[in-house]
Structure 1
Amino acid sequence: MKKIPIGHSDFKRIRSTPELLYVDKTDLISEFVEDPCMVLLITRPRRFGKTLNLSTLRYFFDRENAEENRRLFDGLRVSENEKAMALQGTRPVIYLSFKDCKERSFREQCIKIRHALSQMALQIPNGPESSLQPVEWELIRGVQNMTLEPTELSNSLYIISKYYQNTFKVNPLILIDEFDVPLQSAWGEGYWDEAITFFRNFFSSSFKDNPYLWRGVITGCLRVARESMFTGMNNLEVSSISSNHYSRHFGFTVPEVKQLIEDYNLSAIETKIESWYNGYMFGETTLYNPWSILNLL
């Protein structure tokens, strides 16, 4: 009987530890490959596997350690999808999380944003100086050293995307987790106008006006009005709790829970489990909260 990975949200760590349980959600990759949208915004409640799924996309598409990462998907459903597997390990991936960007003032929040972007930018592999103009290299070094002002910082993913495209001749995948955390903080602490101005410019530069982008995925809990945050982003597709697309990939489906109940010898209380935890409907799919089920197991 496998151990329960409570609190684990890194796909590679889970798959590299054979004794940890993993419920196969790699059909997400297959659906993503077939989806024509350029930028996907996925909103779900907390504890529904958003970070783990974004981590799964990261390890699947990332060209860094591609062969090693390919083995992580052995035996999973996506490994049977030839079209998807042809794209495995083919893209530079820019991964960014705003989970810690919650502060009492915009100045303090910018420090956290600088830190998050710096941690991402420090992972950029070395490339030829000719891949960017000198002023663009200055911006990347400013991101790495956390010295940029907000107006400069908002263009950081654009420049980093350009670097990847010019260096590897392929556009990157941009993944942003918990995009709404700094906005929730800004609303509660009274600096909404400053924050929304920054993030509107940040997302526009990264996703709307970025010719070096392959595709993007953004996850969070809240659906922020398109008019306030994603103005003019006609390439944005939203998957919310009312959407059918991607609905079964976040949370545990009824068949998945039934299998877990059987595997962990809980059939005697199956009816009680259904009454306790069977309370979510995303699109037309009935789902269980994975955090609740894993804690039960």
Structure 2
Amino acid sequence: MKKILTDSDDFETIIRTGAAYVDKTELLEKIGPCSYSIFVRPPRFGKSLNMSMIKSFFEMNYADPANKSKPKELFQNLQIMKNKEFCEKYMGEYPVISISLKSVRGKTFEEALKAFTEIIIDLYKSFADVLYSSPKLNREYDYYTLDFFAKLDIENLDWTNPHTISSIVLGINKSLEVLTYLLFKAFGKHTIVLIDDFDEPLRDAAAYGYYENMREVTSGMGNAVLKTNSNLQSGILTCSVLVALDYGIDHLSVYETDYEYYSTMFGFTYEETEELLKRLNLDSHTEDVIEWYGGYNFANNKMVCPESLLKFCADVLTSPDPVTFEPKNYRIDAEEKEIIKYSLQNNDYLFSECLQNLLDGDSYQTNISVLSKYYPINKEMNPFWAFDLLFFRGFLTLVKTASKTGNDYVVIPNKEVLDFFGLTTKEIFNATKLNWKEKALAFKEALFNNDKDKVQTLINELLINFVSVRDTAYESFYQEFLTSVLSVTIAPDHEELLSKSENGLGFAYTIINNTIESKVAIIEYKKAEKGETFKKICAEALKQIDEKQHSHKYEQKDYSICKYGITFSGKTCWVAMP
């Protein structure tokens, strides 16, 4: 059985451990050794692994430049080796500087700058032995910057001293440029520079108010190493948001998801997904995987999110019952939750209607701008910037671009994204939201009191006042919504809320019971398709409660049982009882 690595984006580790790998080495031929490129892709689409692969292929053996055994061993069974001329000419030929800025986070500029400095220190230390032992470097002049970072004691710096901050910023600005100079002097070869997650430092910077300070650090470093640098062989950046334009780094070629030539190089195509699942003997899950993690459209190529797919495969392979294992949500990013919360709670009518159409499974016509900076996610934010963020973070995908208007048509790609909306909704409904708790308590009381009309009225009020959380594409979203509303009302000592829990011979969508008063309310949800009547669908829901014996154990305990069949369609809800 193939090993699945979900916690590593290091190419060498994946290859040496024999872990499952989808061959993307065609990218090496496409970029060549002289690329000046920015690849813009949503998070979780394999950017870091591709950058690691590029490093592993082109990086020279610093101790023995003629020895290319390491890259030959790593790539021996991969597609790139079929191009013998390319491999002979470029494999293991260049110094490579590779850093990721993913960890540059912090609530203050000083905190983030310290994280940035640690990355540069680690980089310099990785080259220290090679450079210090080179007879071609001038000990008096060339060692200055090398010593500055390779021997810097970060813990003993005074991060409150403006002079210290200024020195560190200046040092980072010149760090990569100077390192390319030192490598050229030591080996007589130009350097390939790879900067992964180039936009990440700006996420917290925008959120916590130090955007311009961090912009000065990252743009200074990027411009110094990538512009007019005679020691540069190639420069490649990856990002989710195209902040490089805001930095003035506008001389690199930009490749977004709609650029055909590189469209399948990040993420898995449907064909690659099917082949991987077949290799893992998981091909019975193909349809579910596509529905949950696919749906992305990169230049008319249907793509699957690789991180979610691999985590799903790892979970299935370790599950006691792989055949019945169901897909789940693997999105956990806290900042992405803030974007969703902003979107769900925004009061702009037009924005809410647009978001509602997306949640209903429809496309939305917009004009996705080239988002060149991060914005703080707050009430002052232009609500339609949220659509841009949702798109660039992988919550929306492009369907088509209208040829006459130039407008883009976007959709929510899959069930994982919809589920992420549902989970975030649960966080919004909590006991501190007193206005919602009041309605939720009334809703629970009406359920226990057989008050069908009040139940229907309250659900519709909740939907009207919180329109963005409805989803007419999937019944489960309604279930998530109403369960989250009820969850704020539960008295844990004598009340229990069950959601999709085994009961009788099947699954009840929502059950709430009161052990003191011996009451239980059982709710079955249905979505009415076009042409179907509410009355008919509600009757089917009630029939399902009886057929699957959802109330059986409560009948044995002589509970007062309230059964509800609830049907949704568009903006309308209908409630029926036996």
Same fold (TM over 0.5): yes
Within 2, Cα distance between the matches of 1:187 and 1:71?
A: 43
2:236 pairs with 1:230:
no
Deviation at 1:245, TM superposition (A): 2.6
Q: Cα deviations across residues 10-38 of structure 1 (Å, max 9, x unaligned)?
A: 111111112x211111111111118x64x
Given that residues 114 and 146 in structure 1 are in contact (C-alpha distance below 8 angstroms), is that contact kept between their aligned partners in structure 2?
no
Describe the SS at the equivalent of 1:146: coil
Given that residues 136 and 159 in structure 1 are in contact (C-alpha distance below 8 angstroms), is that contact kept between their aligned partners in structure 2?
no
Given that residues 191 and 233 in structure 2 are in contact (C-alpha distance below 8 angstroms), is that contact kept between their aligned partners in structure 1?
yes
2:184 pairs with 1:165:
yes
Q: Which residue of 1 aligns with 2:291?
A: 275
- Counterpart of 1:80 (choices 78, 82, 104) is 82
Given that residues 140 and 156 in structure 1 are in contact (C-alpha distance below 8 angstroms), is that contact kept between their aligned partners in structure 2?
no
Task: Read off the aligned partner of 2:16 and give its amino acid letter.
Answer: S
Q: Which residue of 1 aligns with 2:55?
A: 58
% identical aligned pairs: 27
Task: Read off the aligned partner of 2:247 and give its amino acid letter.
Answer: M
Q: Which residue of 2 aligns with 1:156?
A: 175
Q: Cα deviations across residues 198-256 of structure 1 (Å, max 9, x unaligned)?
A: 22211110101211000011112211161x2134x42x011112222321111111111
Describe the SS at the equivalent of 1:154: helix
Deviation at 1:145, TM superposition (A): 2.8
Deviation at 1:272, TM superposition (A): 3.0
Q: Which residue of 2 aligns with 1:33?
A: 32
Within 1, Cα distance between the matches of 2:69 and 2:13?
A: 16
Q: Cα deviations across residues 42-81 of structure 1 (Å, max 9, x unaligned)?
A: 1211111111111101111110273123211011000111
Pairing 1:30-179 to 2, within 5 Å after superposition: 30-33=29-32, 37=35, 39-64=36-61, 66-85=68-87, 86-124=89-127, 125-126=130-131, 127-128=133-134, 130-132=136-138, 134-146=140-152, 148-179=167-198
Deviation at 1:98, TM superposition (A): 1.2
Change (3 A) 1:111 1:274: closer
Deviation at 1:95, TM superposition (A): 1.2
Q: Which residue of 1 aligns with 2:537?
A: none
- Counterpart of 1:184 (choices 203, 228, 234) is 203
Q: Cα deviations across residues 75-118 of structure 1 (Å, max 9, x unaligned)?
A: 10001112430200000111111121101222222211111001
Describe the SS at the equivalent of 1:248: coil
91-100 vs 256-265, which deviates more? 256-265
Within 2, Cα distance between the matches of 1:128 and 1:4?
A: 40
Within 2, Cα distance between the matches of 1:133 and 1:278?
A: 55
Given that residues 10 and 55 in structure 1 are in contact (C-alpha distance below 8 angstroms), is that contact kept between their aligned partners in structure 2?
yes
Within 2, Cα distance between the matches of 1:266 and 1:69?
A: 31
Describe the SS at the equivalent of 1:131: coil
Q: Which residue of 1 aligns with 2:277?
A: 261
Within 2, Cα distance between the matches of 1:91 and 1:83?
A: 17
2:212 pairs with 1:213:
no
User: Unmatched 5+ residue regions in structure 2?
Assistant: 62-66, 154-166, 314-578
Describe the SS at the equivalent of 1:214: strand
Higher relative contact order (CA 8 A, sep 6+): 1
Task: Read off the aligned partner of 2:211 and give its amino acid letter.
Answer: W
Deviation at 1:121, TM superposition (A): 0.6
Structure 1 length as normaliser, TM-score? 0.91
The count of aligned residue pairs is 291
Describe the SS at the equivalent of 2:48: helix
2:302 pairs with 1:286:
yes
Within 1, Cα distance between the matches of 2:248 and 2:299?
A: 23
2:201 pairs with 1:204:
no
Given that residues 5 and 20 in structure 2 are in contact (C-alpha distance below 8 angstroms), is that contact kept between their aligned partners in structure 1?
yes
Between Structure 1 and Structure 2, which shows a larger proportion of strand residues? 2
Given that residues 29 and 84 in structure 1 are in contact (C-alpha distance below 8 angstroms), is that contact kept between their aligned partners in structure 2?
no
Change (3 A) 1:69 1:189: same
Deviation at 1:197, TM superposition (A): 1.7
Within 1, Cα distance between the matches of 2:16 and 2:76?
A: 11
Q: Which residue of 1 aligns with 2:267?
A: 251
Task: Read off the aligned partner of 2:10 and give its amino acid letter.
Answer: D
Within 1, Cα distance between the matches of 2:136 and 2:115?
A: 31
Aligned alpha-carbon RMSD (Å): 1.9
Q: Which runs of 4+ in 1 moved over 4 A?
A: none
Deviation at 1:153, TM superposition (A): 2.2
Q: Cα deviations across residues 122-176 of structure 1 (Å, max 9, x unaligned)?
A: 1111344653573442122112233752123201111110111111111011111
Given that residues 203 and 230 in structure 1 are in contact (C-alpha distance below 8 angstroms), is that contact kept between their aligned partners in structure 2?
no
Describe the SS at the equivalent of 1:107: helix
Structure 2 length as normaliser, TM-score? 0.48
Structure with bigger gyration radius: 2
Describe the SS at the equivalent of 1:89: coil
160-169 vs 102-111, which deviates more? 102-111
Change (3 A) 1:263 1:101: same
Describe the SS at the equivalent of 1:155: helix
Q: Which residue of 1 aligns with 2:557?
A: none
Within 2, Cα distance between the matches of 1:273 and 1:98?
A: 31
Given that residues 22 and 276 in structure 2 are in contact (C-alpha distance below 8 angstroms), is that contact kept between their aligned partners in structure 1?
no
Deviation at 1:177, TM superposition (A): 1.2
